């Protein structure tokens, strides 16, 4: 047990899928895993461990924002031995070719600040995805019908943004979408020599102002979960 995770030692798999929303964790575990067991519910942050095609996997919420993600990712890596962490999140589209429900594989994540900014100080560290996971995820999209984009995203500290000028510059520089956790996940993965990738489904669009309702953000992102599982276990027969 840690301060924020009630799981017993050994209850967490080496591969962890991390949605921001704990109810998305429950939905994904119930939909994709066999023998899924609830291993954490401290503060309502649900975590489940079960099997996908015989492979042991945990699906655990991160909460919203990098400070929250940092707590869970630190404890999962340092106390429970997680080795592969894949964020399965929602994001806002920032380019015209990025459509609602498309999937983004985040190669890198720009940020204004992260919980690691205090360590990096004046350095502009470039957090990036694990190449083997990114490639496996891209390969896994070959059979999907959803639109897929690979590139940079923006990890914002805020959802209600008062700096439209920043979004303008990010869009101008090809950033595909905005969310709130990936940059710190990539920082922590680099620090502790584990693998990380953020896979995001576009839930709303900053230019068209289309938006999916919250129940669909919780329960309808099956393509993304399937891509994440196939990326984590590329040799597993489907």
Ligand X SMILES: O=P(O)(O)O[C@H]1O[C@H](CO)[C@@H](O)[C@H]1O
Ligand Y SMILES: O=c1cc[nH]c(=O)[nH]1
User: For residues 54 and 213, which CB has a smaller minimum distance to ligand Y in the complex?
Assistant: 213
Note whether 24 and 217 are within 8 A (CB).
Answer: yes
Least distance in angstroms from the C-beta of 64 to ligand X: 4
Instruction: For residue 92, state whether it binds ligand Y (rule: CB under 6 A).
Output: yes
Residue 149 assigned to a binding site = no
User: For residues 45 and 183, which CB has a smaller minimum distance to ligand Y in the complex?
Assistant: 183
Note whether 32 and 229 are within 8 A (CB).
Answer: yes
Note whether 50 and 35 are within 8 A (CB).
Answer: yes
Instruction: For residue 204, state whether it binds ligand Y (rule: CB under 6 A).
Output: yes
Residue 4 assigned to a binding site = yes
Q: How many CB atoms lie within 10 A of CB 122?
A: 4
Q: Which of 21, 130, 179, 226 binds ligand Y (CB under 6 A)?
A: 179
Q: Can you tell me the distance from the alpha carbon of 189 to that of 36, in angstroms, rounded to the nearest whole number?
A: 26
CA dihedral in degrees (36, 39, 40, 46; nearest 10)? Answer: -10
User: For residues 47 and 65, which CB has a smaller minimum distance to ligand Y in the complex?
Assistant: 65
Q: Can you tell me the distance from the alpha carbon of 61 to that of 24, in angstroms, rounded to the nearest whole number?
A: 8
User: For residues 107 and 198, which CB has a smaller minimum distance to ligand Y in the complex?
Assistant: 198
- Say how far residue 81 (Cα) sits from the centre of its chain: 18
Question: At 6, which helix (H) or strand (E)?
Answer: none
Instruction: For residue 14, state whether it binds ligand Y (rule: CB under 6 A).
Output: no
Residue 14 assigned to a binding site = no
Beta strands in 184-235 (DSSP E): 195-205
* Segment interacting with ligand Y, rule: CB under 6 A, options 107-115, 123-131, 172-180, 222-230: 172-180
Q: Which tokens go with 41? A: 């519910």
Instruction: For residue 159, state whether it binds ligand Y (rule: CB under 6 A).
Output: yes
Q: Which tokens go with 44? A: 């309502």
204 counts as catalytic: yes
Q: Which of 17, 180, 194, 231 binds ligand X (CB under 6 A)?
A: 180
* Segment interacting with ligand X, rule: CB under 6 A, options 102-110, 135-143, 173-181, 185-193: 173-181
Binding-site residues for phosphate, please? 20, 24, 43, 87-90
Interacting residue ranges for ligand Y, rule: CB under 6 A: 90-92, 156, 159, 178-180, 203-204
Which of the residues are catalytic?
204
């Amino acid at each position: 047990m840690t301060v924020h995770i009630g799981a017993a030692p050994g209850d967490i798999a080496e591969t962890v899928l991390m949605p921001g929303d704990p109810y998305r964790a429950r939905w994904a575990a119930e939909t994709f895993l066999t023998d899924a067991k609830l291993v954490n519910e401290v503060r309502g942050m649900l975590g489940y461990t079960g099997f996908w095609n015989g492979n042991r996997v945990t699906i655990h919420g991160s909460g919203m924002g990098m400070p929250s993600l940092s707590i869970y990712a630190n404890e999962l890596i340092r106390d429970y031995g997680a080795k592969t962490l894949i964020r399965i999140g929602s994001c806002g589209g920032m380019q015209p070719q990025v459509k609602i429900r498309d999937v983004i594989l985040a190669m890198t994540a720009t940020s204004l600040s992260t919980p690691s900014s205090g360590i990096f100080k004046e350095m502009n560290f470039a957090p990036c995805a694990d190449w083997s996971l990114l490639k496996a995820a891209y390969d896994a999209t070959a059979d999907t019908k959803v639109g897929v984009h690979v590139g940079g995203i923006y990890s914002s500290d805020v959802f209600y943004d008062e700096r439209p000028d920043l979004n303008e510059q990010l869009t101008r520089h090809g950033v595909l979408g905005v969310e709130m956790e990936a940059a710190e996940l990539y920082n922590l993965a680099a620090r502790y020599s584990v693998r990380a990738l953020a896979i995001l489904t576009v839930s709303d669009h900053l230019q068209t102002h289309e938006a999916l309702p919250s129940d669909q953000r919780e329960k309808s992102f099956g393509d993304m979960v399937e891509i994440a599982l196939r990326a984590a276990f590329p040799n597993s027969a489907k």
